[in-house]
Structure 1
């Protein structure tokens, strides 16, 4: 077929523009363009230059050919494989999004990033010829720069241009002259922007699996070899050796010439996982995450597509690695909410992984010490295959976990951050030259600032939230819009000087610990201290090298890390996530507390964990103390069934945002009226509308409607209906509507 016209989806993610546009194909581009090519096109009355994705070609059109606009250029380095096109269609239908949004998620954010080219110099003479020339030039001072170049070439006959200029201390003009005289030649080499230094890692070998690991590997390996599209749930207690199972399973994948994707929940875990995998598998390991530069991301994507990388490690975006043959997909810490995208399309990496695995006929391995309730339910019902690791990988001393009732501490007059037990435990651990992790899932110094005389709370001018006080710069900061103002000394409401910061954050804990344990070296790991590409690695490397005694952190320190010298973990406020407006609150509390206490006693020394709580009798706290997932699950599943939450019901949140609060409230009630035609006989339950938990952010008011249904299909039909309602509204008032199917967070 002659590629006369191309059928293109444009890169503007607006529902009304989510359709095929036809463009002419210049003759010069016809040989190179194909389905999946990414092109630059003029769009609209003003011919704005935008990106487009080719979905097909045709030879004839049913409108005036004189009105056809033409493709301007092709992004030669980037294209979409047929599998990823199918994946985009799946995401469009599954998450009720636009094709543009789905396609944009699959690709590097900037397709015009080019390969990094580097000039090299190669000698055209052998060593004898170089020595002869050096002798000829020896006493001729004018040729001294050339002689220095020849000296370098004797040792390095093939060398980067910059390097030879530095070592020989010559200008580029000298090199160019020697090229003209056929002494040297220039080469243009493609330089790879690798996000890690291979030479910085040692090598490791497989460890002998214990009986449980061997049994797990037998099942997974069999599935890989037989190309079975199974989903395994690997439920292993902390320290049971799940990562070793991952690596030995991947070794089988590489033996049959296939690739593997390893997803981790957050960037903080990337350095550790990369270290372990590079030490085992070397340069075939790739990395993909948002802290990489555009060039590094592009090179990782390109190397994966070319087959030069075989393993891709990273957070949820790693699932889109363009491997041709995938043999295994792994989700480590599969329970983590970060696998669900907060930005449209609001996909879940687990669902995308299962879809890709179905295409490649390979298994998916979900690993966790605290599986998501829905995942464990599917495993018990036979939809997933359950594998359990109940024993530690090595014969270590059992972890001692205890809870401290902070109500009793108050009765004793102790109002400090630390209970008596935790204070004494820290003191004893420091004396033994062992290390400590203190966990608090809230950054900043204090949670809010208020006047003790009139009760006025200082709030962000643009958001319905209190400012957080940051002591290091003596400023009040909004954690939603990032606006900051100097710390207030006088109450804006009553004029009194009784203004004080209340609550607790990681900064305040750090200051307190440094004050009472002045001899200890302290590190803090939270959002504020890990900016930059290597922010996490720098702190973790320091702590692993024992350059600090105490590591204070948010959930970044809670999982995946393996520090042999950590023998004490303190959970400072276990209740912090327990009573938030979220039906998953108990589950998240159990997961966090279980994960962070599991960081203690990972080496050959006995570990201890102390959980400070105001509700020691809550089943999530008690189960975490006993590291008893099954007890937690049995309690939680009863609550979910009684209240009609996942896994028994599907849910959809509809977040509606506008700068006009009055209009927003009226709109929400109109939407509910139009949805009321789906009565309870169809298994639909509508909750709300009501103000969102954060009812105002960046001067935008936020209201939310929740919808429960018996089937996912019913929700997608409703979602499409909601978008149609939104299209009919007056867009001068409404900002936008966000629909999230089976949300992992509350709004």
Structure 2
């Protein structure tokens, strides 16, 4: 047996592996993640390294492969644990080990540590004064300036020495060699949590909150490790329960990771956590600078923080003593990676908890169908919170049929009911949120004369119109100017269709000219701190109306919001995706949950063309059980997750014909393997349904052609076997060097 070993775990060197032979005496001890000592280089100096792969095939002449010297027995180090987790991700989701390692090793690049240097006088004043006299005689002006200042102040910042006294590095080194001074270096951390104040008081839990917190904490303190699920309606106070559990776990000397779905949640969540836990809490997300991310990584590794909050990537925080992982808004699609390895943070969290002996707590007002099924089966321990915390009541919900509005000659995007309620709220100085599940100024641009649609030349999608006159592809970023006439027939009747957030903002300002309006979408929040700026302004009541895409409906708490308008509730129902009903229910229930969270009662207007659809009816009353029963029946009938597991095999190539042939070759290979498998006769759950190959729904992105094959099977392990078989087969076939093949297990979007 041979081991692939990394001798430098820094991010840049993850692809530099060296193969070593495993002596018979160490065969049982060497596993993926094991820390070993190996002879390295011509001098055979001994270095520590980590095993990242095992094989029985030598990469070159076996006579020249050196043996592993010994296994380090001093327990599981954090790097070992993360490497084991990377291997699990690679095995379960189909990627290279290198891609999996780059996912779990948090530091993307080496960033220079931020340091504060000070220069201190160590010689006594008598000796220093003698030297000063000598330097004056010899006209060493730099040394004179520095010693004079140090005799007066004792210690100076290096910046002052360099910039104000104009003393260079060599002068400092010379005085250091003379034993007159010393340079004191202190590492400074770039802290992404600025200007926050820790509060001494915290919210008292109500009876339901306390019961749940006590049940989880008692089991944890008795050494019982489980996965828990809190199904709590919007505003029921799940965050307070999380904080109570975290406080007890941290008091036991353990560390906690809390995942949240959107960057927009981070600021508000951290504010609440910082006020309770002070600077023992930090957060990671993609908008941090390289330096800030680097410093949080080392603070966590050195045990200087106990709680890390952030989206998916925060799961890989290098805590040495992890005790608990919490995943809030567990249903969110952003927990699934869109680039290889296409892992799900929820499943990876369960594996990290297994490796570390930790517990996991999931929470949502609108659970994913997969998780709720596990909670009902007893795999997760389920808690329910069906009342809002404090005295807040669920909002009153109006479902408006847009077909009826049209019959009444109302062609506005605001129904009569929504307009009436908006006028009332503005009159009473209360706030309004308008939710639209779209971005951009409008939808596609087409010609009313010939039907020509403006499409991206590199992708199989229509361009989206923005109010700066640009047509933009939201897949590859291609941009062109809005044409004055149709490029196909020359007609002037070319225009944009559909409604985006910018268009809604324009119509709101026209309809309610006195209202102060904020818009929150990917365009307005692209700069660093954009989310915080908009949310703070709205919370401080600097605006009356907040318009936004789905990022405004996730977890925010604005006590003065008494009206939420959902402008196009069923847009998400029309996506070619088996999860469209679930996604619609979740968005509507979350949007409705933003209203009436304070002392004032709230109202919600849901505008739709399908008022009778089960996901819309259930969302209006926030009746998850009603939704779940109909959704799981549909999934079972159609063999979709969680009734059966599914894997999408995406074949892509710059050459259209190569992508088509490669997909057909893989299909034939899968069919041959299935027909050859004897175990499926005895085990019906191991039967695999093969669908395709077909062109992907977006069959070209950035000049890359895409084909897809779907596999469905009740047994996840069977799909993993087929994935492994295809990977081995493709490595042996030269043809696949011109194609890329990716695997997506239980995909959350169709291709």
Residue 440 of structure 1: how far off its partner (Å)? 0.8
CA distance in 2, matches of 1:186, 1:733: 56
Residue 531 of structure 1: how far off its partner (Å)? 1.4
Residue 117 (structure 2) aligns with? 119
CA distance in 2, matches of 1:355, 1:549: 45
Alignment of 1:289 onto 2:289:
no
Work out whether residues 659 and 699 of structure 1, in 8 Å CA contact, stay in contact via their aligned partners in 2: yes
Work out whether residues 439 and 570 of structure 1, in 8 Å CA contact, stay in contact via their aligned partners in 2: yes
Residue 32 (structure 2) aligns with? none
Alignment of 1:207 onto 2:203:
yes
Residue 319 (structure 1) aligns with? 315
| 1:239-638 equivalences in 2 (<5 Å) | 239-471=235-467, 473-638=468-633
> Which moved further from structure 2: 116-125 or 589-598?
116-125
Residue 33 of structure 1: how far off its partner (Å)? 2.8
CA distance in 2, matches of 1:116, 1:434: 46
Residue 732 of structure 1: how far off its partner (Å)? 7.5
SS at match of 1:574: coil
What is the aligned-residue RMSD (CA, Å)? 3.5
CA distance in 2, matches of 1:190, 1:55: 39
SS at match of 1:81: helix
| 1:647-686 equivalences in 2 (<5 Å) | 647-677=642-672, 678-679=674-675, 681=681, 682-686=686-690
Work out whether residues 9 and 54 of structure 1, in 8 Å CA contact, stay in contact via their aligned partners in 2: no
Residue 217 of structure 1: how far off its partner (Å)? 0.6
Cα distance change, pair 226–150 in 1 and its aligned pair in 2 (3 A): same
Cα distance change, pair 171–687 in 1 and its aligned pair in 2 (3 A): same
Residue 192 (structure 2) aligns with? 195
Cα distance change, pair 128–371 in 1 and its aligned pair in 2 (3 A): farther
Residue 335 of structure 1: how far off its partner (Å)? 0.6
Deviation per residue, 1:302-324 (Å, 9 max, x gap) = 11111111111111111111111
Residue 338 of structure 1: how far off its partner (Å)? 1.0
Residue 707 (structure 1) aligns with? 711
| 1:141-152 equivalences in 2 (<5 Å) | none
Residue 734 of structure 1: how far off its partner (Å)? 3.7
> Which moved further from structure 2: 118-127 or 369-378?
118-127
Of residues 1, 4, 7, the one that matches 2:5 is: 7
SS at match of 2:625: helix
Work out whether residues 401 and 608 of structure 2, in 8 Å CA contact, stay in contact via their aligned partners in 1: yes
Residue 398 of structure 1: how far off its partner (Å)? 3.5
Residue 34 (structure 2) aligns with? none
Of residues 35, 42, 63, the one that matches 2:50 is: 35
Alignment of 1:743 onto 2:751:
no
Cα distance change, pair 28–158 in 1 and its aligned pair in 2 (3 A): farther
TM-score by length of 1: 0.86
Cα distance change, pair 327–453 in 1 and its aligned pair in 2 (3 A): same
CA distance in 1, matches of 2:664, 2:557: 51
Cα distance change, pair 519–280 in 1 and its aligned pair in 2 (3 A): same
Residue 82 (structure 2) aligns with? 84
TM-score by length of 2: 0.86
CA distance in 2, matches of 1:652, 1:358: 25
CA distance in 2, matches of 1:272, 1:29: 53
SS at match of 1:663: helix
Residue 601 of structure 1: how far off its partner (Å)? 1.2
Of residues 722, 725, 738, the one that matches 1:718 is: 722
CA distance in 2, matches of 1:213, 1:247: 11
Residue 499 of structure 1: how far off its partner (Å)? 1.4
CA distance in 2, matches of 1:151, 1:11: 43
Residue 152 of structure 1: how far off its partner (Å)? 12
Cα distance change, pair 80–398 in 1 and its aligned pair in 2 (3 A): closer
Residue 430 of structure 1: how far off its partner (Å)? 1.4
SS at match of 2:699: strand
Residue 576 of structure 1: how far off its partner (Å)? 0.8
Deviation per residue, 1:186-217 (Å, 9 max, x gap) = 322212122121x3334253321111101101
Residue 103 (structure 2) aligns with? 105
SS at match of 1:417: coil
CA distance in 2, matches of 1:626, 1:577: 19
Residue 183 (structure 2) aligns with? 186
The aligned length equals: 701
CA distance in 2, matches of 1:591, 1:729: 44
Residue 72 (structure 1) aligns with? none
CA distance in 2, matches of 1:501, 1:92: 44
Unpaired runs of 5+ residues, structure 2, are: 21-37, 67-76, 129-140
CA distance in 1, matches of 2:646, 2:189: 45
Work out whether residues 568 and 607 of structure 1, in 8 Å CA contact, stay in contact via their aligned partners in 2: yes
SS at match of 1:418: coil
| 1:226-241 equivalences in 2 (<5 Å) | 226-241=222-237
SS at match of 1:547: coil
Unpaired runs of 5+ residues, structure 1, are: 37-52, 69-78, 131-141
Cα distance change, pair 12–716 in 1 and its aligned pair in 2 (3 A): farther
